[in-house]
Amino acid sequence: MVELLNRIPVSSELQTVIGLSAIVLATLLIAWLVRAVLFVLARRLAAQTRTDLDDRLLSACRKPVYYLVYLIGLVALLNYLEEVSAGSVPAVFRYVDFALYAVGVILVARLIIGLAAAALAWYGENIAARTDTTVDDEFVPLIDRAIKVIVYVLSLLIILDHFGVDIKGLVAILGVGSLAIALAAQETIANMIGGFVIMIDRPFRVGDRVRLGDGTICIVNQIGIRSSKFRTFDNTLVIIPNADLMKSTVHNLTYPHPRLRVQIDVGVGYDSDMALVRRVMLEEAGLHPIVIDDPEPSFYFLEFGDSSLNVSMRCWVADVSQQFQAASELREQVLSRFRTEGIEIPFPQRVITMVPDSEKQTPAPSAPTSSAAIPTSGGCDFPDSADEGD
């Protein structure tokens, strides 16, 4: 540029003014073109699309791009002044160059962060809000913060490297520190990974009725990053870490369809007519308004019990939330109908036979034992030792 200006037959001072004016005008012209092409024309095209993601991205990069255009013009202006001054003040230009380089890196970092934040905000409002789980809603701000930290750390390393600072030791320290943090927070990281897997795999959703590994039946209340919350029928909240939840067996009673089987078990007397029992129980199931016809109610003769004949009637309801209501009302209907039909529901009983004493068999007397006769009166004459000798 200096060689081009030297061809103009004017004084050196006027050449410098012309050069500075040309750089300023070029910067303003480029800024105007960027505004006209990138924002006015691009915004009109983006307004015709169905999504507002492009509008958000354009709004996020508007200020950083403007500032970058002016920064590039300022750098060109300073380079021209440095060339014109022929190195008379090299230290000033070097420090200003360092400062402008740092500002440029920060502007690029702000541009990247703004674009990422706009994309994540659009995802949170349009995609995550429509899902049944809240894990993605909680991951959006977490990812946003992680992107900011990573971009700013990389920007700092780039600036320090430009200033001639050895960043190898700093990178090593950051690596060791990250490893120490990862080891200290391994349970938290495991829970976060578990939450992300639940969000992707979706074994259960918010509102589903599930049975946990310990047999507790509850409703999924919230799926979080660190833990998931389940509401029991006692209106208590069970909080389980996601890592433990991934290792346990969870029975989803709602997915893939909300239908659920209702089972009514009862015992009838041994003298009951089983055909009548079957007909009564199936009729009561068919009369209930909640019980659905597909699958049809079924009847089973389970076993010969100690005090009763155990039978079971099984039917289906359209929604899992109707299980307890249908089971309770069906038991009431069956009990009332059994009483009307004269079908006995026996209670546990035992038959004990009492044998009279007269019918008891007397044990036979034992045979007498033979033995030598021993006199019971008078003295017993045993020979003396002297007589024995005779």
pLDDT in tens, the chain (390 residues): 555 555 555 565 666 666 667 777 877 787 777 777 766 766 666 666 777 777 777 777 778 887 888 888 887 777 777 676 665 556 666 777 788 888 888 888 988 888 888 888 887 777 665 665 555 566 677 788 888 888 888 888 888 887 777 767 667 777 777 777 767 667 777 887 887 788 777 888 888 888 888 888 898 888 877 888 999 988 899 999 988 888 888 888 887 778 889 999 999 999 999 999 999 999 999 999 999 988 899 999 999 998 899 999 999 998 888 888 999 999 999 999 999 999 999 988 777 888 877 765 555 555 554 444 444 444 444 444 444 443
User: pTM here?
Assistant: 0.50
Token pair belonging to 18: 């012309």
Give the pLDDT score at 262: 92
Q: Would you state the pLDDT for residue 326?
A: 92
CB atoms closer than 10 angstroms to residue 126:
12
Q: What is the DSSP letter of 379?
A: -
CATH code of the domain made up of 205-252: 2.30.30.60
Phi-psi domain of 164 (left: phi exceeds 0; alpha: psi -120 through 50; beta: other): left
Q: Helix, strand, coil proportions of the chain in percent (round to 5)?
A: 60, 15, 30
At 46 the pLDDT is 63
Q: Is 246 helix (H, G, I), strand (E, B) or coil?
A: helix
How far is 277 from 156, CA to CA, in rounded Å?
Answer: 82
CB proximity list for 110: less than 8 A, separation 6 or greater: 64
Topology classification of domain 260-341: Alpha-Beta Plaits (3.30.70)
Burial class (CB in 10 A: 0-12, 13-18, 19+), 277: buried
Residue 90, preceding bond cis, omega within 30 degrees? no
- Map out the domains of the chain as residue ranges: 2-188, 205-252, 260-341
pLDDT of residue 389: 42
